[in-house]
Amino acid sequence: MSRKYFGTDGVRGKVGEFPITPEFALKLGYAAGKVLVSQRGLPSGERPAVLIGKDTRVSGYLLEAALESGFSAAGVDVSLVGPMPTPGVAYLTRALRLQAGVVISASHNPYDDNGIKFFSAEGMKLPDEVERAIEAELENPLSCVASAQLGRARRIDDARGRYVEFCKSAFPNDLNLRGLKLVVDCAHGAAYHVAPDVFHELGAEVQVIGAEPNGLNINAGFGATAPQALQNAVRENHAHLGVALDGDGDRLLMAGPDGSLYDGDQLLYVMVAERLRQGQPVAGVVGTLMSNLALEHALANANVAFIRVAVGDRYVVEKLLEKGWLFGGENSGHLLCLDKHSTGDGIVAALQVLAALRRQPQIPVAALLGAVRLYPQQLINVDLPKNGSWRQNPDIAAAVAATERRLTVAGKTRGRVLLRASGTQPLLRVMVEGEDAAQVAAEANALAQTVREAIQAAASRVLRG
């Protein structure tokens, strides 16, 4: 059964439009609560309990109240932590031995979007089968347990401090950040009252930007998806390094002293290379279809296996658990180090990179963070009509194969091709990546034109009957 409401990262949409409405949030809380009640073997008379956190969007108040009511109606207790990074909710859910965690956030999206996502008792994204069970329960009428069984709500006042200490524990005890000047960009999001304290308490001099949320400015001109503010601040403050998070604190981007940006692929390699340098084995790394080929080549040179999965950090985690590996991530900045945290955490990932820098002070920041020189990528969107077919199109398959042959030199892959349908728009994304920028651009344009013509021809044949 396919999922009707849940996407790769929970339920998400524009506030006020289905499903991000108070009515749906109420019923979602009730449905999730009913599933938790049925699935968790608790001692007799003990109610399940969940944690609810949110980012700084003004709509968080509305959705928080609706979810709390739905859980209570299902007989589930609720702990509220207010604004809290997504990975903080995952940690606290696990630390407090609760049955689930809920995050109200649309991550890097604008303020007028919002979303609802769940974590299991282990601090990981819910498995597909649990999300399907919640969706099945959504089809049933909303009801309410007897008054004596209603869930109760409480606020956890020390949640922020607990998470700050957890993040600090991910940094080696024999190191500190004294003498390091950092710019920390919190995207006016959930990490605004957490990230600065973590780095400051470890000894860094911290210049904070993007830490004045007003409910409407999350991700607006700041954070990992709008890095210009970080680049400018690093240069203006003569900082050693810049750290940018996104609205819910699970993405990381970093900037060097000259403002140069380093993405998730490059930072993931730094984390892996440091473990190898410490003499610790790294069996393999999980990336996604969008991970840069340069990362794959660099890991191969270090004799580290690399596997690609579908875009979405949940799929990275699933593969890591299947393989028993620790490291994975996306070029967007979702980085996983499973012996430090159960989910992607921008602050924890930044601390792993900073630890590598502190252990190798003789190496310039640009040399360490830029050890992987990313291959040029060219992405072209091709319209994909409703009756347009591409997966089984022989002309497209032949064009892709021919492009891949031209990107192979002396038996070595120098580039790759990726065709991927957009999950939100009627578009087919045609991506070519390789070592030579001019060749990549030429191949991408030629392939996109062939794909465009093949889709149009196939659509015309369908219309003609």
CB distance 304 to 287 below 8 Å: no
Catalytic residue of the set 72, 107, 120, 332: 107
Bond into 19 cis (ω within 30): yes
Residue entry with tokens 């007003």: 214
Two structure tokens written together for 253: 């981007």
As a whole number of Å, the CA-based R_g of the chain is 23
Length, in residues, of the chain: 465
How far is Cα 153 from Cα 167, in angstroms, rounded to an integer? 26
50 HSE (CA, 13 A, CB side): 30
- Is-catalytic flag, 120? no
Q: Which residues contact 318 (CB under 8 A, 6 or more apart)?
A: 309
CB-CB neighbours of 253 under 10 Å: 26
Tokens of 25: 């949030």
Residue 441's CB is within 10 A of a number of other CB atoms, namely 16
Exposure on the CB side of residue 266, measured as CA atoms within 13 A: 20
Alpha-carbon torsion, ordered 333, 249, 238, 295, to 10 deg: -10
Give me the residue label for tokens 């347009």: 388
Quote the CA–CA distance of 414 and 331 in Å, as a whole number.
Answer: 19
Q: CA–CA distance from 456 to each of 222, 384, 395, 398, 443 (Å)?
A: 40, 9, 12, 16, 20
- In sequence order, the 6+-apart residues with CB closer than 8 A to the CB of 297 are none
**CB burial string 51-69: b at 16+ within 10 A, e below:** bbbbbbbebbebbbbbbbb
- The residues annotated with a catalytic role in the active site are 107
